[in-house]
Homo-oligomer: A and B are copies of this chain.
C-alpha cells in the first residue's frame, strides 16, 4: 500500500487532502512537524509527503516554502482542498458558550462566533482540539475542526460549514523521490536568487514573458543565511521537459546566482 506522511493529528485537513489525491487506498502517517513529514519520504519510510503551501485566505505557509528549498524530493502533484469548518461538540448550539480551535480556524469563522457570542480558546491544531474537548467533556465546550476529525474522535458535528468565506481552499504539494512525465497540462515550481540591484528581477520576468509563459505565482522570501536577502519562488504553466520551458530555464539560470527546480506536475483543478 502507498504510504503518505502528513503533519498533524489524524483527521487533519492534510490527511483528507492526501486521501482525495490518490485513486487507491493509502496508509497515511501522521507526524508532528513538516520537517518530519519530508524526512520520512527522503528516508524512504513513506512514498509521498503532503505539504500545505498556500491557503486562499491566509496566504503562503512559510515553513513549507523553506522545506521546498532544502529538500531533495520532487514535487509530483498538487491538490486544492476545500476547507469546510464544523462546530463539533456534545450539545446543541444554544448550550455551547466556548469554542476551541487553531487561531486561523477561529479567524475564519469570526462571523459565526460573534453571532453566537462564543468565547474562544486558541489551540495549536484543529484536529487536536477535538481531542482536547473530548478530554474536558463538558456540554458548553465545543471546537472547530473538520468532519473527518469529528468522525475519528467520535464527537458529533453540531453544525457544518460555519466558515465566513466559502472560497476557503488550501493548496498542497505532493512530494516524492520520483519525477513525473508531461501531461500537456502541467505546472512547474522553481526557486532562484538574484543580486539585490535594480533590474535584476526584471531580467527574469522579461525572459518568462519572451517565452509567453504564464506565471501563476511569485513570492520573494528572506534567505535564512543573510537577513533580508531574498529568494524568489515562482510557479508557471508548462513542464520542465517541454523544449521551450527547458530553453527558458537555461536562460534564467544564466541570470541567477542560484536556481532550483522543485518539480513539474499536473495542474489541479479548483473544484
Contact = CB atoms under 8 A, between A and B. Distances in A.
A101 to B, nearest CB: 10
A175 to B, nearest CB: 19
B198 A202 contact: no
A50 B206 CA distance: 37
Given A218-B220, A219-B218, A202 B205 contact: yes
Given A60-B59, A63-B107, A228 B270 contact: yes
A29 interface: no
A179 interface: no
A222 interface: yes
A26 interface: no
Contacts of A62: 55, 57-60
A113 to B, nearest CB: 11
Interface residues of A, number: 49
A241 to B, nearest CB: 20
A115 interface: no
Nearest to A125: B122
Nearest to A122: B124
B198 A217 contact: no
Contacts of A122: 124-125
**For the complex, would chain A's binding face be called helix, strand, loop or mixed by DSSP majority?**
mixed
A128 to B, nearest CB: 9
A249 to B, nearest CB: 17
A217 B218 contact: no
B123 A227 contact: no
B198 A205 contact: no
A167 B270 CA distance: 38
A197 B225 contact: no
A56 B54 CA distance: 18
10 contacts: A59-B60, A59-B221, A60-B60, A63-B107, A169-B227, A197-B214, A198-B214, A202-B205, A205-B205, A205-B206
Interface of A: 33, 54-60, 62-63, 65-66, 80, 103, 107, 122-125, 165, 167, 169, 197-199, 201-202, 205-206, 208-209, 212-215, 217-222, 224-228, 230, 232, 270
